[in-house]
Structure 1
């Protein structure tokens, strides 16, 4: 297939590109920078004055939208929140304009989203059929993002909104910061420890995106999380076990709020989210177990770097 990726140079985008190339697909990455094409990847300028990507893309089978300012970088002050929100809305609007301007419509749009759309809860268990919605900044952002992406359904394009959980990887996402205290021998429970962490290995994120492209019966919301979420206390204990480090130094909620501000909700609050759609469609997770996922990211990959 010929697949267009917006946000292809990001944490998830890089891992996804590796997978798609390994499967023999042709990749076009939308970019604001001048970049030279390779044998397998083409780069097309967009979101710049005078850019007309629709004239360069040709026939496209699928479009993946991962574009937007990272929620992990910087404090969530008013300006940063505005950048996070507007970057997603403007990029999606432009992407939909490009898609509808193409001579031939792509068959599917895969649009990123997040499980932050569900309210934080110690007890609730959310699937794609859950109608409860949070009302905070992140929930509004992803809710509006999904709504805007679905507008292209009017042009007979299948839309899948993939609600990512806490994506674990050793080159980005939340894991490097979560692991750092343990490497310094001061790791411990963050906040109450009762909050849920619906995590997922970045390799399974990439694989689930390709799975959604290949399975035309999948549409609408898809939770992209491990089928085995854990509470924060267990998450920290598992890091300690994998790294052979103690889990003893608690981090009070108040400290996290002082250090991270509003962004502290990402670690102090959580949701128990189940990937029902993926499981019903037969998707097989490479890393359903947190221990195995962390061992792959923190131990096996480190050993490979040492050996080679």
Structure 2
């Protein structure tokens, strides 16, 4: 089976790439810099999103496309220009994916397009499944809704379309977790904000696993929450980090300090949503790390 990945050099993309290669798939990475990809018999790189590139001419017998391309939302304050890059990068990449699909003589069976649980908006009380609607108008919700609407154009070519709504993906060196863990390693860890906000998390291994699962299962159409089955309140999340690292959980981080430091980006930590992966559970995906403590032990223990 041949899977094309856009954003294959990113945090989740690398995990998916490794999983697919280990399972014997043929993988092609769409990248601006193909020379940075170490090609093998199983792994190829094709240039895209640069002048005169025509990736469709090098793509043959494509069974699935996974689109994870886009500017990272982590790491820096959301300035006006940063927010524009977050939106524009996702829209540009997805429009190109749709153009490639239109140009392919034989269409892929499925497009799995990146998305986020930010679609649902923020709530300390509501429980969201893939069936939940959303009237949220905050920045992340707006970006996600536009992103999904663009990807939905694949359906007009008869391509099964899946929206992978990621929660907070946990990994050792990338994603949000290293910054969340740092205060604990310094002995000053504690609850962020009220502690009552939900964190819909998932181990990066299961994030890649659910993408693989969505490729393989034709029953999965539309949204799938890429989250673990047991979301955690932020207070419990912090306490669990402390237990795993054997570090104190004692120094609260007030909301005003987070807002002063991160601005609008602080909403990702100070507000959240309880997103349940109903699609994954109904279709019997087998999580490797369904419980938070085991997930953090795997990631944080040397």
Name the TM-score, length of structure 2 as normaliser: 0.98
Q: Tell me, in whole angstroms, the C-alpha distance in 1 between the residues paired with 2:119 and 2:129.
A: 12
Q: Tell me, in whole angstroms, the C-alpha distance in 2 between the residues paired with 1:243 and 1:169.
A: 15
Map 1:74-89; keep pairs closer than 5 Å.
Answer: 74-89=76-91
Instruction: Specify the SS of the correspondent of 2:34.
Output: coil
Listed as ranges, the gaps of 5+ residues in structure 2 are none
Cα drift, residue 122 of structure 1: 1.0
Instruction: Specify the SS of the correspondent of 1:160.
Output: strand
Q: Tell me, in whole angstroms, the C-alpha distance in 2 between the residues paired with 1:197 and 1:179.
A: 15
Cα drift, residue 132 of structure 1: 2.5
Matched with 1:282 is: 284
Instruction: Specify the SS of the correspondent of 1:43.
Output: strand
Cα drift, residue 5 of structure 1: 0.2
Matched with 1:139 is: 141
Q: Identify which of 104, 107, 111 aligns with 2:106.
A: 104
Matched with 2:180 is: 178
Matched with 2:266 is: 264
Q: Tell me, in whole angstroms, the C-alpha distance in 2 between the residues paired with 1:58 and 1:284.
A: 32
Q: Tell me, in whole angstroms, the C-alpha distance in 2 between the residues paired with 1:120 and 1:152.
A: 29
1:3 matched to 2:6? The reply is no
Instruction: Specify the SS of the correspondent of 1:249.
Output: coil
Matched with 1:114 is: 116
Q: Tell me, in whole angstroms, the C-alpha distance in 2 between the residues paired with 1:86 and 1:132.
A: 22
Listed as ranges, the gaps of 5+ residues in structure 1 are 303-308
Deviations 1:82-122 (A, max 9, x none): 00000000100011101110110000000010001112111
Deviations 1:8-58 (A, max 9, x none): 000000010000001000000001013252232100000000101000011
Cα drift, residue 171 of structure 1: 1.9
Matched with 1:306 is: none
Q: Tell me, in whole angstroms, the C-alpha distance in 2 between the residues paired with 1:170 and 1:161.
A: 25
Deviations 1:186-215 (A, max 9, x none): 000000000000100000000001111111
Deviations 1:134-181 (A, max 9, x none): 211110001110011011100100000010001000121000000000
Name the TM-score, length of structure 1 as normaliser: 0.96
User: CA separation of 1:256/1:215 partners in 2, compared to 1, >3 Å: closer, same or farther?
Assistant: same
Q: Tell me, in whole angstroms, the C-alpha distance in 2 between the residues paired with 1:14 and 1:37.
A: 14
Matched with 2:34 is: 34
1:291 matched to 2:293? The reply is yes
Deviations 1:217-267 (A, max 9, x none): 110000111110010000000000000000000000000000001100010
Map 1:229-268; keep pairs closer than 5 Å.
Answer: 229-268=231-270
Instruction: Specify the SS of the correspondent of 1:226.
Output: coil
